[in-house]
Amino acid sequence: MLRLLVALLPTLLSAMRSRRHLVIENLALRQQFATLAGRRHPDIRPADRVLWVLLRRYWSRWAQALAIVEPDTVVRWHRAGFRTYWNWLSRRGKRSGRPPLPREVRALIRRMASENPWGAPRIHGELHCLGFDVSERSVSRYLRSLPRTPRANATWTTFLIRHGRRDVVRCSVTTCPTAGWVAQQLRETFPFDSAPRFMIFDRDAIFSAGLMATIRSMLMEPTRTSYQSPWQNGVAERLVGTIRRELLDDVIVLNERQLLQLMGFFIAYYNVDRTHLAVGKDSPSGRLAEQKPGVTSNVVSLSRVGGLHHRYAWRQAA
């Protein structure tokens, strides 16, 4: 009796199926038989792929009836069809997606990238100051096709920086930094009770108890960062890396006087011309966005720090 039930089970299930499923299953089996007739390997044509993609889309039992290929193969056919469809749409009359960058903007990006060691955020900030309405993502995408010169690692410097606008208040150079020298820099930087409320510094031994007393006498609260936690003074740490990459990697410093002169040029450029993400791609000192003054105007580059960096501005053509 059990054997009889096992033998009749497929028939019973077939009878319970709807006529629609039987017709689709019969079509799928006949198609596979046609691709295998008289051959060792199936002869699968584009029409066969389309049929199985449609079966996968509209028939839930498609994988059970499939025998000539693996189900993953039909999934790949389906994805390839989507790619072909969207590529066809992108080649139609109307262009979709982001509009292409104007030729003038592309030329400026190439020029800025070749004249400066800048990435997309810096170039986008400079374009913003020139009045161009482009996105940073578009600038980044266009930069990928341009050759870039690799930058090296480099050296050191000492400075005081205000966090509010990221501007450098004072920069000085010495071959023998001591606690007394640092105290004197603070007195010259913040005379007549002009000191800020807090002074953040790392765990260097130069910040001694005597220097702490000097800082408190200027009505500042000394705040030391935690052990091996440079991120707690990230603004200053970021500036150190910026000076190394954008100045000291590209020059050979011969003496203290030359280093002080170079640092003066760079700090002036850093405060007045260089755009910063932290201040909305403005400069620390404030830099108004320019508008193109006329049809015949051109963008000119103004050399900074001996040609290592540039500022760009509109000039009326002669």
Tell me the pLDDT tens digit for each residue of 13-57: 665 556 677 777 777 777 777 777 767 777 777 887 788 778 877
Counting residues of the chain whose pLDDT is more than 70, the rounded percentage is 84
- Domain 159-257: give its CATH architecture: 2-Layer Sandwich (3.30)
φ and ψ of 18, to 5 deg:
-75, 160
Q: Is 194 exposed, middle or buried (0-12, 13-18, 19+ CB in 10 A)?
A: exposed
**Which phi-psi region, left, alpha or beta, contains residue 41 (left: φ > 0; alpha: ψ -120 to 50)?**
beta
C-alpha atoms less than 13 angstroms from C-alpha of 273 in its C-beta half-sphere: 16
Query: Cα dihedral sign for 29, 30, 34, 40?
Result: positive
154, pLDDT greater than 50: no
Tell me the C-alpha distance between 312 and 318, whole Å.
18
φ and ψ of 300, to 5 deg:
-115, 150
Tell me the C-alpha distance between 14 and 16, whole Å.
5
Measure Cα distances from 198 to 44, 179, 224, 246 in Å: 76, 18, 10, 29
Tell me the C-alpha distance between 281 and 189, whole Å.
27
Q: Which H/E stretch holds residue 223? A: strand 221-224
Q: Start-end ranges of CATH 3.30.420.10 in the chain?
A: 159-257
**pTM listed for this prediction:** 0.53
- Whats the size of the chain, residue-wise? 318
pLDDT at 15: 56
Q: Closest Cα to residue 173, out of 162, 157, 185, 151?
A: 157
Tell me the pLDDT tens digit for each residue of 174-224: 888 888 888 888 888 888 777 888 888 888 878 888 888 888 888 888 888
pLDDT at 152: 38
Residue with tokens 């700090």: 267
Tell me the pLDDT tens digit for each residue of 112-147: 888 887 888 989 999 989 988 888 988 998 888 776
